[in-house]
Structure 1
Amino acid sequence: MARIVALDFGKVRTGIAVTDELQIIASGLETVETKNLLDFLKNYVQQEKVEKFVVGEPKQMDNTPSESEVLIKPFLLKLTAAFPEIPIVRHDERFTSKMAFQTMIDSGLNKKQRRNKALVDEISATIILQAYLEKTAF
């Protein structure tokens, strides 16, 4: 099997998470500057077999797209052009940043460590991927 890569896309930074080859466990991989994201993914795909990309879908509480969706759509076109053979699925990312922050508190990170926005993005991507795996497991 191949890995699934999840992206918590942001204007400045994007958190990245991946599954193991059996697609059982989601783990944080890295947070990269969004301007370098496609280059990072091209290098990653050369080294690892990737089955699909799961990209967070930001929504308002009323289920309408959030303002940041405007930034994601052009990226999705570039991602599709760069990897036409790898499907892209979207997954609701509501509350992932809050959940990531709570995960940091629960794991005992101090205030300074919790201010690390790159770590929040990576944990958010992991939460998106884990939720996607749980949703598709049945």
Structure 2
Amino acid sequence: MQNYARLIGIDVGLKRVGLAQTDLLKTIASPVGTYSPSDVFEEVDRIVEGSPVEAFIIGWPLTPNGDEGPATKMVQRFIAKLEKAHPNIPIIKVDERYTSNKAKDLMLEIGVPKKKRRQKERVDRIAAALILQRYLDEHQ
């Protein structure tokens, strides 16, 4: 029997948090938007209230050589707040190295104008979708 629920992808940054979600069949990741770190929990709550959520897939910012650095501490603080707000939804960390660069490359490939490619909000929400899609690709 099919388990109809979404996965939520999260790309945490100091200034912005990119969100993405899957369809209920968990086949494709789509960008949702970019939010300030203080406003993102309101949007996550809205998504969780609107449909079942199986798990949060969070980008884990390792250094190029695979170590944890200062950015992982920031993401861990975000995870702690998310766990407190939604204790029954599992949180899965996914290596997010180079997703911002891949997001920029993807926008170039699909013909997004240069001015729009420079918008960091756009990059962050596409990076969240790439993190989520990477998880889907590895677990299906």
Given the two structures, how large is their TM-score scaled by the length of structure 2? 0.94
Letter in 1 for 2:7: I
Partner of 2:7: 4
Partner of 2:63: 60
Letter in 1 for 2:136: L
Question: Does the residue aligned with 1:103 lie in a helix, a strand or coil?
Answer: helix
User: Quick one: distance in 1 between partners of 2:115 and 2:35?
Assistant: 20
Give the RMSD, CA atoms, in angstroms.
Answer: 0.9
Per-residue deviation, 1:54: 0.3
User: Quick one: distance in 1 between partners of 2:134 and 2:47?
Assistant: 22
Choose which of 104, 114, 119 in structure 2 pairs with 1:116. 119
Question: Does the residue aligned with 2:34 lie in a helix, a strand or coil?
Answer: strand
Question: Does the residue aligned with 2:38 lie in a helix, a strand or coil?
Answer: helix
Letter in 1 for 2:76: K
Per-residue deviation, 1:66: 2.9
User: Quick one: distance in 1 between partners of 2:125 and 2:46?
Assistant: 18
User: Quick one: distance in 1 between partners of 2:46 and 2:31?
Assistant: 17
Cα deviation digits, residues 28-85 of structure 1 (max 9, x gap): 1111111111121112211121110000001112210132112111111110010011
Task: Flag as ranges the 4+ runs of structure 1 deviating above 6 A.
Answer: none
Letter in 1 for 2:93: R
Percent identity between the two aligned chains: 36
Partner of 2:36: 33
Question: Does the residue aligned with 2:7 lie in a helix, a strand or coil?
Answer: strand
Partner of 2:24: 21
Question: Does the residue aligned with 1:68 lie in a helix, a strand or coil?
Answer: helix
Q: Does the alignment pair 1:72 with 2:69?
A: no
- Give aligned pairs, total: 137
Given the two structures, how large is their TM-score scaled by the length of structure 1? 0.96
Unmatched segments (≥5 aa) in structure 2: none
User: Quick one: distance in 1 between partners of 2:112 and 2:42?
Assistant: 31
Whether the 8 Å CA contact 1:7–1:125 is kept in 2: the answer is yes
Unmatched segments (≥5 aa) in structure 1: none
